[in-house]
Chain A
């Protein structure tokens, strides 16, 4: 495997795996593994918005945590091209080299209420990354925090206040300001709008798009809301029980999906128009257990297009059209329904 990435690729994930051991009994013996992330590979170009989509337990959050090295991957490579132009493998980087790299990768969290320390002022919260990374001069820090708050649409005068004085949307803006403090190149946004009211979601999504244009940010969006994903992404990867089911440019995923799970997912999204009440694909059963996935294709027990091969052999992710990857034995023969144009 080559250790270098294409020159416009900021991040390249190769064969990523993260297994969590299941321990039982008095001696805490390992009796199995939860295959949270099971051989995931993708890349993100600089300046792009890439979304990981899937339902509970699909592994999207664990994948994003591996990329930030918040958890240690079990195996695989996470190649990141630093500001200096060097490509490093985040998965195996020693701690002392990882620390300076962390300023280039930041995270925006889902819950605006638990992601801000209630005992810290906005100045403390947004200024902390600066303090930790050497901006010890208080005046300079205050000036930078004021600038950051303005950039996210908050008044700098608020910096002496505490999080509880602000609404969910405003708190999310504070979290975004904090994430931008060190001028990162990659921002991982884990469901950044799902906890917000509908009208506030629009404000935050607009803000994220503006910030991306202004600062040349690359986004890895982790989300389950397909309408939001479609609005903000250029490329989308659909995950199911730790594996990639499909990966393609946004337009193709939504209008010409090639994986039955993607089709079902799109069909399940309730459209805000009563005239679009069509017959929907309602999947039977529930999401497979990542600790004990079915043989063959993980999705086969719920798939309406299943054939014998699906029960026996796990499909590999293959490129069936330019930039369009699917893990399905029948990808080339099925005619699936996307979103109606």
Chain B
């Protein structure tokens, strides 16, 4: 954060204070002449990065109270500009401060209009600030800060007397809202002079307020005088309460402590206190023109960009930290899982190493024996299937075999209806996948059955049924001894020709 400096301006001089953490440090004073302005320029060059606030404590000021119809936005802005122009013609340093809405009638908004009526006193200093590209953050008048020394919840009417290097200021408050303020320059700095002036100016102020019908004449006005303890006795001696005024002498040092000022004040001139109040919480309303705040707007924008960048980096750093914590936990989990996997593997390896030693790894052994079993399964030869056929032939001794074609097949091919006399039979699901031993057999029935077609079909059917009773065996007839299908020609036997034994072909498949 940049350093903040308050330039306390009165008609005789400009005093620079550095304000930091409740402490107010006097740095320099500059007379309102050529030499003073030049010295002020040098001072600004030394403290260019600082933010400067001007606190004007001048007698040439004006206050007006106006009730305006409640409005917002551009309408409100236009009304206020018109009012300010009406009241403060000739000065750019004018502002309007809202004091809330009235509780009766059409509930107008009460505005306190204030202005620094002699801008030519301030302009040389502003010029030096601009020439040196100093960051002017605002121009305020002292009455804007003075409410900081009021009690927490002030009510009723109150006249507050304060002293600064510029003189005696009398500020009138009503229910905590400033209504009017006036600065009386003091010729002498002597304590008695201040006390006498306080007593007399309070009376004048009472008369003025009464003439303006801001107070009632017969009701004593509470008048608080903010004074250093060493000067309190003199102040009490001169400020005597009467039917119009009821004086209260307030300890300046105690008030300063209450509002957080850490720099001790040496007398009743409370310049440092008001600088502290301004730096602590500068009022939103201020006198500077937009063009005078150019460097401040530039600083604000730069500051905003830097803050945005810093926030982005900080957010990223937080995110990275959060993710980093997660990653640490993940890595811990990874290490534990790997450790456990290593232990499991070691235990497994120990078990496997206890096995008889062979030059083949367990995985290769599994693969090798698996493949060997597949090969060996197909190496059973024709004996089992031929033995099965032989057993059925023993039951049907009239059937003779002419030819057997045996092979290893991977899949059963259903008997095709295209084959003469073939009977398509569905393949059981458990026999869908091979390997299978398969024999295609050409057989012969006894010649005595030549004319007995029904007997031929019956014998073939019985034979194949017997053959198929063995588990995991599928039998299909590829060719019947006699073709009885409707689409085929059926002939009688020719007694002149040589009779031939009826032939049929079947296929038997057995799962290996």
Answer yes or no: do A and B interact.
no
Residues of chain A at the chain B interface (Cβ within 8 Å): none
